[in-house]
Amino acid sequence: MANTSTHVAHDADHDHKPHGLKRWLFTTNHKDIGTMYLVFALLMFFVGGAMALVIRLELFSPGVQFVDPGFYNQMLTMHALIMIFGAVMPAFVGLANWMIPLQIGAPDMALPRMNNFSFWILPFAFTLLMATLFLPGGGPAGGWTMYPPLSLQGGDSFALMIFAIHLMGASSIMGAINVIVTIMNMRAPGMTLLKLPLFCWTWLITAYLLIAVMPVLAGAVTMLLTDHFLLTSFFNPAGGGDPVMFQHIFWFFGHPEVYILILPAFGIVSEIIPTFSRKPLFGYDAMVYATASIAFLSFVVWAHHMFTVGMPLAGQLFFMLSTMLIAVPTGVKVFNWTTTMWRGSLSFEPPMLFAIAFLFLFTIGGFSGLMLAIAPADFQYHDTYFVVAHFHYVLVPGAVFAIMAGVYYWLPKWTGHMYDMKLAKWHFWLSTISVNVLFFPQHFLGLAGMPRRIVDYNTQFTDWNVVSSIGGFVFGFSQLLFVWIIWKSARSGAKATAEVWDAQPSGLEWTVPSPAPYHTFDKAPEVR
C-alpha cells in the first residue's frame, strides 16, 4: 500500500485533514500536535511572564507597595512551575514533534495516539495548577522546590499542585517514550546514529533523562502528599522524618531536569550555527559525546544545590569536584560552536542572531555556574540573587533564546511564509539588550547580600533593583513582537521555498516543500 500514513487508508490527497475543533482534539498528526505544544508553551510563557512582572513591579522600590508577601510567594512559586513545566519543556516537545520526524525521514511519531494524549493532559494539569490561585489561601507559596516542612504548611492548593505535577510528569514521560521509540525505530534507511542531526541526538539523550528522573519527582511529591494527608513522616521531622532527604530526592530529579531544559537548546543551536556559517558543525562526534557526558554527570552532582544543609566534608568535596567537571564537556561544546563559525561565511538572519546571543549569554551563565560549584564560595552565593542571575542566564538567553532561534529557523517551514525579518531583528535587539539589563545587575545584588525570594529589601539594594525591573518590563513587552511576527507569518508573507534559507541548510526537513505537507515521508527517503 502506497499510502501507509493514516486513518483514511483510501485517501489519495495527502493534505486531507479533519476541520474545526475535531482536528485538534483527535489529531494524531505530529505537526498538529507540535503546533499545539508550541502554542500552549507560548501562552504559558506569557502567563509565567506576567507573574514575573508582578515580582519585578513589587521589587521596583523598597517597601511593600503592590502585593501581600504571601501572594508574592505564590507568584514566585507559580512563575517557576509554569515557566519550567509549562513553557520551556512543552516548547521543546513541540519542536521535537514537528522536527524529529522531518529530520529523520519518518512519516510521523512512533506512537501517535499517545502523542495526542501526552499533549492533552497538559491543559488539564495547568488548569488545576492555576485554579489554586482562586482557592481560599491562594496558590502554592513554598517555592517550586517544595521543600518540606514549609510546603506541608500549604493549604488547599497543596493537593492540586501535586496532582498537577503528577500529570505534567506523566505527559513528559509519554513524550519522552515517543521520542526514543521514534528515533530508534523510524530513521530513514541509511541514517545511522552518528548521522542523526544534533537536535535529534540531544533530544534522544534528554528523553532518557526524562524517563529516569520524572518518576523520582513523582515519588518525592507523593511522599509529600502522604505526609500531608495520611500522616506519614517521610519528611516531617515531628514524626521522625527527614526534611533533608526530600532535598536529596528532589535534586536527584532537579539537576538532570536542568539539563532537560538545556540539552535540546544545544541541539537547536548546533543546527543553526552551521547553516548560517555555511560549513558543517565542527566536531560532530565530540558534540555527541559531550552531550552524553553532561547527561551522565548530571546524575552525580545533585547535592551542589544544597551545600548549606550541612553535609560531611567528603560529601561537599565530591559534589564540588563532580560539578566542576561538568565545565569540561560544556566547554567542549562552546569551543566547537565557536570553531564552527571560524573560517565560515557568516550571515545574520534572526535565527543566527538568537543563536549567537545564546552562545555569548549561555557562556556567561556557565561562568557563574562554575563559580557556584566552588563550595566555600557557594556558601556566600547560595540562595542569593547571584543564583537567580545564574539560572536565568542559562534559562532565558539560554533555553528560551534557543527556542526562539528554533522558531525563527523553522517557522517558514511550518507556515510556508517568510516572516518579517526587520521586525524579527527588532525583537532580537530589544530582547537581547533588555535581558541583560534585567539579569546582569542581579549578580551584583546577590554578591552584595540580597537573598532571593524576598518581597522587600534594604534600601542599599534599590538602584540595581530599579535597573533590573526596567529591563524586565522592556523584555516582557518586547515578546509581544514575537507573537505578532508569528501571527503575521501564519497568515501571509512571501512564499518560502523548500530550502527556506539561501544558506543551503542541510537536513531532510529542507527536502520537503514549505509549508510541510500534512503528511510527509510516506515513502522513506534514502540517506547516503
Partner 1 sequence: MSAAKIAAVLAGVLGSASAYAYENSYNMPVGVTPISREVHGLHMLIFWICVIIAVFVFGAMIYSIWKFRKSKGAVPDKTLTHSTKVEVVWTVIPVLILVSMAVPATRTLIKIEDTRDAELSIKVTGYQWMWHYDYLGQDIGFYSRMATPSNVARQLRSGIDPNTVENYLLEVDNRLVVPVDTKVRVLITANDVIHSWWVPQFAVKKDAIPGFVNEAWFKAEKVGVYPGQCTELCGRDHAFMPIVVEVVSKEDFAKWLADRKAATQQAQAAPAAEPAAPVEAAAQTPATAAATAPAATTVSLQNTQLAAPVAAKL
Contact range with partner 1 by CB under 8 A, out of 9-17, 80-88, 334-342, 516-524: 334-342
Residue 519 annotated as catalytic: no
Using DSSP's 3-state secondary structure scheme, residue 417 falls into strand
* Candidate residues 339, 425, 467, 497; the one interacting with partner 1 per rule CB under 8 A: 339
342 binds partner 1 (CB under 8 A): yes
* Candidate residues 334, 423, 481, 512; the one interacting with partner 1 per rule CB under 8 A: 334
Q: Which of 452, 462, 484, 522 is catalytic?
A: 452
Residue 528 annotated as catalytic: no
**Nearest distance in Å: CB 284, partner 1:** 7
Using DSSP's 3-state secondary structure scheme, residue 197 falls into coil
Give the separation between CA 482 and CA 41, rounded to whole angstroms.
Answer: 13
143 binds partner 1 (CB under 8 A): yes
Q: Show Cβ contacts of residue 121 under 8 Å, excluding neighbours closer than 6 positions.
A: 167, 168, 170, 171, 174
Nearest alpha-carbon partner for 404 in 349, 452, 328: 349
* Candidate residues 64, 135, 193, 498; the one interacting with partner 1 per rule CB under 8 A: 64
Alpha carbon dihedral 328, 204, 169, 365, in 10-degree steps, equals 30
Whether 408 contacts 419, CB under 8 Å: yes
> x-or-dash pattern for partner 1, window 246-285, by CB under 8 A?
-------------------------------xxxxxxxxx
Nearest alpha-carbon partner for 37 in 92, 117, 113: 92
Contact range with partner 1 by CB under 8 A, out of 31-39, 145-153, 210-218, 393-401: 145-153
For residues 349-408, which are near partner 1 according to CB under 8 A? Answer: 356, 359-360, 363-364, 367, 370-371, 374-377, 379-380, 382-384
> x-or-dash pattern for partner 1, window 103-142, by CB under 8 A?
--------------------------------------xx
Radius of gyration of the chain (CA): 23
Where is 412: in which H helix or E strand?
helix 401-415
Residue 304 annotated as catalytic: yes
Where is 174: in which H helix or E strand?
helix 157-185
C-alpha cell at 3: 499510502
Q: 25 or 64: whose CB is closer to partner 1? A: 64
211 binds partner 1 (CB under 8 A): no
4 binds partner 1 (CB under 8 A): no
425 binds partner 1 (CB under 8 A): no
Using DSSP's 3-state secondary structure scheme, residue 135 falls into coil
Buried-state track 373-389, b at ≥16 Cβ within 10 A, e below 16: bbbeebeebbebbbbbb
**Nearest distance in Å: CB 69, partner 1:** 5
* Candidate residues 338, 421, 429, 480; the one interacting with partner 1 per rule CB under 8 A: 338
Contact range with partner 1 by CB under 8 A, out of 28-36, 38-46, 127-135, 324-332: 324-332
Give the separation between CA 33 and CA 509, rounded to whole angstroms.
Answer: 17
* Candidate residues 190, 237, 477, 487; the one interacting with partner 1 per rule CB under 8 A: 237
Residue 257 annotated as catalytic: yes
Residue 63: phi, psi to the nearest 5? 100, 165
Q: 177 or 326: whose CB is closer to partner 1? A: 326
Buried-state track 7-45, b at ≥16 Cβ within 10 A, e below 16: eeeeeeeeeebeeeeeebeebbbbbbbbbbbbebbbbbb
Q: 410 or 464: whose CB is closer to partner 1? A: 464
* Candidate residues 53, 258, 341, 404; the one interacting with partner 1 per rule CB under 8 A: 341
156 binds partner 1 (CB under 8 A): no
Whether 403 contacts 88, CB under 8 Å: yes
Whether 400 contacts 361, CB under 8 Å: no
**Nearest distance in Å: CB 365, partner 1:** 11
457 binds partner 1 (CB under 8 A): yes
193 binds partner 1 (CB under 8 A): no
Q: Which of 305, 382, 392, 443 is catalytic?
A: 305
Q: Which of 27, 118, 157, 270 is catalytic?
A: 270
For residues 286-315, which are near partner 1 according to CB under 8 A? Answer: 286, 306, 308-310, 313
Q: How many CB atoms lie within 10 A of CB 104?
A: 25
Residue 333 annotated as catalytic: yes
Q: Which residues are catalytic?
A: 79, 108, 144, 171-172, 255, 257, 259, 270, 304-305, 330, 333, 452
